[in-house]
Amino acid sequence: MKISRRRFIGLTGTMVGGALLGKPAKSGAEYKPKTPPDPFGCLVDLTVCVGCRKCEQACNQVNHLPSPRVSFEDPRVFEQRRRPDVGAFTVINRYYGGKRDERNQLHPTFVKVQCMHCQDPGCVSACIVGAMTKKDNGATHYNASKCIGCRYCMVACPFQIPAYEYHDPLFPRVRKCTFCYERISKEGGKPGCAAICPVESITFGKRRQILELARHKIKNDPGRYVDKIYGEHEVGGTSWLYISGDSFEKLGFLDLPTRPIPYLSETIQHGLFNYLWAPLTLFGILGAVVAVINRQQNRSSSESVQEGHQPDQDTQDTAGLQEKPDSSKREEKL
Amino acid sequence: MKVGIKQKKINMMAILMAVLVFSTLAVGFSTNGNSSADATKPAKPPKKSTHPWEARQEAAKLRSAEVVPLIKELLPETPSQRRARLGDKVPQIEDIEFSYFLLNNPILEKEEDLYGPVRFMHKKHAGMLNDCFVCHHHRSADLQAPEITRCSACHQTSFNPEVPERIGLLGAHHRQCMGCHKKWNKGPVGCTGCHPKNVPSHKELVKLTANPSPTDVTKECLRCHDVQGDEMLTSTHWLWKGPSEFTEGSEKRVDMGKATVTINNFLVHLASNWPQCTSCHAGYGWKEADFDFTDKTKIDCLICHDTTNSYKKAPLGAGMPDPDVDLFDVARNVGKPNRKTCGECHFAGGPGEPIKHGKLNPFLDFHSTSCDVHMGGLDLQCHDCHKTRNHKISGRSLALPVAEGSRTCEDCHTPVPHQGKALLNHHLNRHSEHISCTTCHNPVYAKCGPVKTFWDWSTAGDKSRRPKKDEHGNPDYMWETGEQIWQEKIKPVYAWYNGKAKRHVLGDKVNNEGVTILTEPTGDIKDPNSKIYPFKVMGGRQAADAKHNYLLVPHLAGPDGYWETLDWEKTFSLGMDAAKLPYSGQYKWVDTVMYLSLNHEVLPKQFALSCVQCHPSLRTERSCGQCHMDKRGLNFKNLAFSNIDFKFLHTREPDTQKRVQSTDYIDFKQLGYKCDPITFGGRFKQLPLGWHSVSAEKNE
Ligand code: SF4
Ligand code: SF4
């Protein structure tokens, strides 16, 4: 009897879970990504970048960031891998993909890291007050005056980009690359880093066009590039695109799914909140279960303790499911 | 070398003779000269020029401002197709219209102001690559358009959606330059290798109150530039001594320099004369031997980094600034050194007036190529050649042992400096293996002002003697320093030089038989590393200890110095005390000679020596045709006499009259050749037809 009851409860759980999980698949067809119609983008050609860090310097100036601890001319910073933080919205890291030059020296590849300005950003969907928004020109824009400091965006970002001014006790802000929103909103404006790059490793333009350019480059020089445009499909596509001569795994790029981050999280939330029948069903079933159990408890008091916590377990399961998108994101990040 | 020394003796004698003749001549002339004051003629800018290369920098600036229409369509062809299409019309180096560019097109948007424009030696690069199509890699689809176009005709603003595959001008320049420099492992790849770095305005950065003390300023500088302070503490501009890797026998020493053992035949030596000499020290208050060289706050940052042109040091102030200088203003306007700041000391070597070197002088700060093509015509600053890192400035001199790296013409001009396929270039490039660039390109020194070539201390002290003025208005006598010879437009002395020098230092024995040579280039006709270089030879008569046989250090300035007491005994005893060497109490006058290198005042080809000026054999009717068959319709005579012969220089510098038409410019015998190498063979090469080279003969 005991076993059959447990099975029953397990089955109920599966049913509820199944109903919830089944929902996204169905509601996915109705899922509306925030992808702007014709955004700007940047193409970083990693085979061209010389690691001069002028982009870091320009970013620093454009955004009025504090002067760096290590000067922009000091190549010793490459000894450590860095992440963008509150003092630097973009950083250059050096990788050795294994290629050697004519003089048998390992050939470095420099990788620029900054907010990718996802087409359909996780941070935007995670932000509960609308401080993060996706603009039509492609910028994922942060509005400090709306921000309540919950830092959900930081958790939601698959690239771990947003940083938080923990040092500021009064008005801490989330900080990340702005895609030079103000500058590119002007006619002919370019992001600071793209404008300064002396070798034009960064090409700025309409995403559509630079994607074409990237394809053209790879097709024209297949020996120079690996056949992949990073950011074309990753998390639903990003405004920043990369082409490279080394495989992207060797250069610290994450292997991410092609589904936008919000696709999962939002549809689940929507599944929960839009389709009210689901919780109703859930609680209905739970109520039925409790009723059955209570009836059984009345019959046999000796079994009551064991049975009593079963419903709890069930709700925990459901809660676990709700959280699942986040935890899966964390895995993807690693 | 024997021959060389003999010749030097002869030179010396010639100089002494000249002194005699000159002073005798001078006696009979005007008597109204009044000592040193007249010698300091205010530097007047030489006349404005109209010659095309003279305003080269200006012309390059104008060219760099031109914006041409964008070529949108390119002719789709491979390089070999292009060559095939052009046949023998493939462009050559001779087709180059402009050999020098300033890469400063307005298309290169300057949002940031980190660096200044690049100076691009177009012809040099063309000559090295020998293929115009490496850079000029495409042409317009319009076949009527010229075959070669400038970079900015195809590469303009970046990210132009009309030509999305085309990179902008900024990227094009950098990729082309860095790509090649990396590939060939030649030329600079770092930013400052090509660009001068711009210094941000320090107006807001410098936090000083009005009327700061000199050390206040230094402390303020060190607030951000502490590392640079440390760099200065080990620099030769601070220590006045340092590595002497180009001094023979002292290659590993680091203690030689003005501060210690260097002695010359101008004002002789630093010891006991600190406040005067150290008024050119990059520090404050080196009054005595025990100056604290570890105290960063004593560094004088402003003497090099002033941009207001108002900073100067007090004449006898041990390096302290002139009290009239507004330090607050100067400190807020610091920037990169320039010809003025370097010149503050280096155009005043001698001292006070530019009389020492031949010839670093304030004229170099005016834009005139007849003084110096680099600083005049091309507006180069000192540090453009004297590359500096960590406050260590490269460059070597014969006058001083210290060197923090060296610079040679070849660093920029390559060992094959004459570009083009013409036969003359081939011959000139062969010359570069045996003679320095300056031998031809600096045929007369002290072009833009007189320098002292002789200084006789033994005659000093006669306040009653009336100085005579020479043809340039310079006095032949000053009671402070004695008799002197001034000269302008001087033909250099030529000698073999392999980059190292022999030095006589404080305490070395003088030559009792003849002239004591204080600095001398080492080198030999048979040493393949030696080349013929031009030198200024400075003659002097100075005191030596009659018993110990070493040169004496006079204590000149100050209340107990010679210029107050006129007492040589006391002067030498105080001087030698400070120099920490015993003085026997007896002195004698000895003749000394210093060789000084002539690396500045370089002239362009229009002023350089022609073939015939050194090779008399080419003056004959058949000229080169004596050996070569004249098949190519070449006029050998024209070639050998081409453009030069000082006629042009003469039009600019009247004083060079006496040089016009002069041949036998170089005395080959004195240099160790049997005779003109054209007829007798080079130093290593045996000529056919039975002529022997000199070295072959020597070996026999
Ligand atoms: S990279 Fe991160 S911070 Fe930038 S848009 Fe995407 S999710 Fe947002
Ligand atoms: S400015 Fe350009 S070349 Fe320099 S580090 Fe940034 S992306 Fe690379």
- Same domain for B303 and B397, yes or no, is yes
pLDDT > 70? residue B244:
yes
- Same domain for B178 and B268, yes or no, is no
- Report helix, strand or coil for A325: helix
CATH classification at residue B169? 3.90.10.10
Are A93 and A81 spatial neighbours (Cβ–Cβ below 8 Å)?
A: yes
- Report helix, strand or coil for B237: helix
Whole-number percent of chain A with pLDDT over 70: 73
Atom of ligand 1 nearest to the CA of A124: 8
- Interface probe for B, chosen from A50, A70, A200, A211 (most Cβ of B below 10 Å), is A200
CB-CB neighbors (< 8 A) of A192 in chain B: 111
B524 located within any domain: yes
Q: What is the residue range of B253's domain?
A: 214-340+393-441
A198 with B183: Cβ contact below 8 A: no
Residue range B230-250: mean pLDDT, rounded: 93
- Report helix, strand or coil for B345: helix
ipTM of the shown complex: 0.77
Mean pLDDT check: name the lowest of A164-173, B66-75, B355-364: B355-364
| Total of domains in chain B | 5
pLDDT-derived band at A323, boundaries 50, 70, 90: very low
Largest Cα separation within chain A, whole Å, is: 86
In this prediction, residue B230 carries a pLDDT of 94
Report the candidate in B135, B124, B152, B149 with the shortest Cα–Cα distance to residue B65: B152
Give this prediction's pTM.
0.79
Q: Where are the domains of chain A?
A: 5-28+271-333, 35-259
Mean pLDDT check: name the lowest of A225-229, B48-52, B195-199: B48-52
Are A132 and A144 spatial neighbours (Cβ–Cβ below 8 Å)?
A: no
pLDDT > 50? residue B23:
no
Residue of A190, A202, A241, A242 to mutate, ligand 2, most atoms within 8 A of C-beta: A202
- The answer to whether A54 faces chain B, any CB pair under 8 Å, is yes
- Same domain for B241 and B319, yes or no, is yes
Cβ-proximal residues to B665 (8 Å cutoff; 6+ apart), any chain: B443, B491, B609, B613, B614
B346 located within any domain: no
| Final residue in a domain of this structure, among B406, B441, B476 | B441
Q: How far is B490 from chain A (nearest CA, A)?
A: 46
In this prediction, residue B592 carries a pLDDT of 95
Residue range B694-699: mean pLDDT, rounded: 44
Residue range A236-245: mean pLDDT, rounded: 94
Report the candidate in B608, B631, B694 with the shortest Cα–Cα distance to residue B53: B608
B469 located within any domain: yes
pLDDT digits (tens, 9 = 90+) for B457-512: 999 988 888 888 887 788 889 888 899 988 888 889 999 999 999 999 999 999 98
In this prediction, residue A267 carries a pLDDT of 59
- For residues B558 and B568, what is the distance between their CA atoms, to the nearest angstrom? 14
HSE of B271, CA atoms in CB hemisphere, 13 A: 22
Report the candidate in B598, B438, B437, B434 with the shortest Cα–Cα distance to residue B527: B434
- For residues B691 and B685, what is the distance between their CA atoms, to the nearest angstrom? 10
Which has more pLDDT, A183 or B684?
A183
Residue range A167-184: mean pLDDT, rounded: 92
Amino acid at B506: L
Helical residues (DSSP H) of B535-603, grouped into ranges: 562-565, 568-579
DSSP strand E in B339-475: where? 388-389, 392-393, 451-456
pLDDT-derived band at A164, boundaries 50, 70, 90: very high
- For residues B629 and B641, what is the distance between their CA atoms, to the nearest angstrom? 18
Lookup: tokens for B57 = 């920098």
- Same domain for B400 and B465, yes or no, is no
In this prediction, residue B299 carries a pLDDT of 95
- Same domain for B543 and B627, yes or no, is no
pLDDT-derived band at B137, boundaries 50, 70, 90: very high
Are B492 and B656 spatial neighbours (Cβ–Cβ below 8 Å)?
A: no
Peptide bond between residue B79 and the one before it cis (omega within 30 degrees of 0): no
- Same domain for B485 and B630, yes or no, is no
For A53, name the nearest residue in chain B, comparing CA atoms only: B191
Q: Which single residue is written with the structure tokens 């990369």?
A: A242
In this prediction, residue B606 carries a pLDDT of 78
Which has more pLDDT, B11 or B640?
B640
Concatenate the DSSP letters of all residues of B46-102 into one string: PPP---GGGGHHHHHHHHHT--------B----HHHHHHHHGGG---GGG-S-SEEE
Residue range B540-550: mean pLDDT, rounded: 93
Beta bridge partners of B537: B595
Are A147 and A174 spatial neighbours (Cβ–Cβ below 8 Å)?
A: yes
Residue of A53, A78, A204 to mutate, ligand 2, most atoms within 8 A of C-beta: A53
B97 located within any domain: yes
Residues 150-209 of A with CB under 8 A from B: 190, 192, 194-200, 203-206, 209
A199 with B161: Cβ contact below 8 A: no
pLDDT digits (tens, 9 = 90+) for B34-56: 333 333 344 444 444 445 445 67
Q: What torsion do the CA atoms of B207, B208, B214, B215 make, to the nearest 10 degrees? A: -60
Amino acid at A251: L
DSSP state of A204: E
Which residue's alpha carbon is nearest to atom 2 within ligand 2?
A: A197
- Same domain for B32 and B128, yes or no, is no
- The answer to whether B161 faces chain A, any CB pair under 8 Å, is yes
Q: How far is B151 from chain A (nearest CA, A)?
A: 15
Say how many CB pairs under 8 Å bridge A and B: 53
- Same domain for B190 and B229, yes or no, is no
Which residue's alpha carbon is nearest to atom 8 within ligand 1?
A: A123
Q: Does residue A262 have its Cβ closer than 6 Å to ligand 1?
A: no
| A35-259: CATH topology | Alpha-Beta Plaits (3.30.70)
Are A175 and A139 spatial neighbours (Cβ–Cβ below 8 Å)?
A: no
Which has more pLDDT, A93 or B367?
A93
- Same domain for B488 and B535, yes or no, is yes
Average pLDDT, chain B: 83
pLDDT > 70? residue B17:
no
Beta bridge partners of A240: A42
Q: Does residue A236 have its Cβ closer than 6 Å to ligand 1?
A: no
In this prediction, residue A289 carries a pLDDT of 75
